[in-house]
Amino acid sequence: MAVSQTHLSALSPTVHKRRINRDLVIAIVALTPSIIAVAIFIYTFIAWTFYVSLANWNTSVVDYTFTGLGHWERMFNSFRFQMDLRNLALYALGFMSQCIVIGFLLASLLDQHIKGEAVFRTIFIFPFAVSAVVTGVAWRWLMRPDTGINLLFEQLGLGFLKSNWFSDPTFGILFVTIASSWQFSGYIMALYLAALRGIPAEVREAAQIDGCNTWNLYRHIIIPMLAPVTFTAIVLTGMGAIRVFDIVMVMSGTGQAFSTDMLATHMFEQMFTANRFSAAAVIGSFMIILSALLVVPYLLSVRKEQEQ
């Protein structure tokens, strides 16, 4: 290849050079507006948010005086923020595991070439088209202590199964993840289904000829082959957990003693109820750092794949 290229450029050096230049110019022209937009609207604002978190802007009067890390220290020492971290851990655990397990199970079941597959696929992915607010309201009613699921249990004589659901003062947040997973699992299913369809039939056939049973086929071949998709699913659901706002706000509110409070709801109240812009910026910056911890390894691994 290299040889032929040298050969070609030796034949017509000017034509080749001009084409490279033109490609380069077009590429620059095409990319510049979005590079500028991204630089201003994403990175500049991220930097600005970090700066505000170090400033002294604690009323509705704008104040950019630099004060250092005081707001960060106060935030990390506050009870509400510590509850947010606890809730984030619980929420992420519940949301990520449900989405990935349910999404994978649904995808593998759909992959069995069943009748009416398109119908089921539509049904499973449909909740993804419903807004989080609608999901939250519907599940809020389902999980009200005196109506919905509890009433159903009672009518069926299963009263012992009754629960406080999202209003449980300790683990209420886990029940919110049932609603959000209901909404998001279909999307994860679509990811897995696309990947399962990409696995050539020969792989399965070869394994079966070698005497591999279904369990081992999934355990040792399919699931490892789906690892990249699982990685994507972890990043997606993890991001979803870090910035969740709407469904919590609609469904459970911040809960007693902030048992269902999340970083974003806390940030919202610091900003708009208390007018503490610097404190809100601390939470915002912290959310950016958490997201970066998830996304940067992902992007690096994708780049490595592409280079190979």
Partner 1 sequence: MKTNRKFTRRQSLKLFGFGATGIALSACAAPRPATQAPGAEQPAQPAADGGKLEIFSWWTSGGEVEALEALYKLYREKYPNVEIINAALAGGAGQGGNMKAVLETRMIGGDPPDSFQVHLGQELIGSHVKAGRMEDLSDLYASEGWNNVFPKGLIELASYEGKPYSVPVNIHRSNVMWYNTNHLAEAGLDKPPATWDEWFDYAEKLKAKGIGALAVAGADPNFSAHVFENILVATLGPEKYTGLFNGATAWDDPGVKEAMDILLRSHEYAQADYLSVAWGDINEVMTSGKASTMIMGDWTHGLFKSAGFKDYGWAPAPGTNGVFVALSDSFGLPKNVKHRENVINWLKLCGSREGQDAFNPIKGSIPARTDPDLSKYDDYLKQTIEAFKTNTIVGSIQHGAAAPQGFVNDYDTIVSTLLASKDTAAAMKELVAAAKTAGLSK
Q: Indicate the residue among 169 and 297 with the shorter CB distance to partner 1.
A: 169
**Least distance between partner 1 and beta carbon 233 (Å):** 8
CA 224 distance to own-chain centroid: 22
Least spacing, CB of residue 14 vs partner 1, in Å: 36
C-beta of 126: minimal distance to partner 1 in Å? 15
Rg, Å, the chain Cα set:
26
Asked if residues 252 and 171 have their Cβ atoms less than 8 Å apart, the reply is: no
Using the minimum distance from each CB to partner 1, give the nearer residue, 88 or 261. 261
At how many degrees (to 10) do helices 148-155 and 132-142 cross?
40
Q: Which is nearer to partner 1, 67 or 232 (CB)?
A: 232
Which parts of this chain interact with partner 1 (CB under 8 A)?
58-62, 79-80, 131, 143-146, 164-169, 172, 187, 190-191, 194-195, 198-200, 203, 225-226, 228-229, 232, 235-236, 246, 252-259, 268-276, 302, 305-306, 308
The nearest distance, CB 115 to partner 1, in angstroms, is: 26
Q: Do residues 88 and 293 touch, judged by C-beta distance below 8 A? A: no
- Ramachandran angles phi, psi of 96, nearest 5°: -65, -45
* CB 96, min distance to partner 1, A: 15
Cβ proximity to partner 1, 88 vs 279, nearer residue: 279
Alpha-carbon distances of 62 from 18, 25, 68, 120, rounded to whole Å: 53, 43, 17, 54
Among residues 98 and 276, whose Cβ is nearest to partner 1?
A: 276
Residue whose C-alpha is closest to residue 135's, from 84, 97, 186, 68: 186
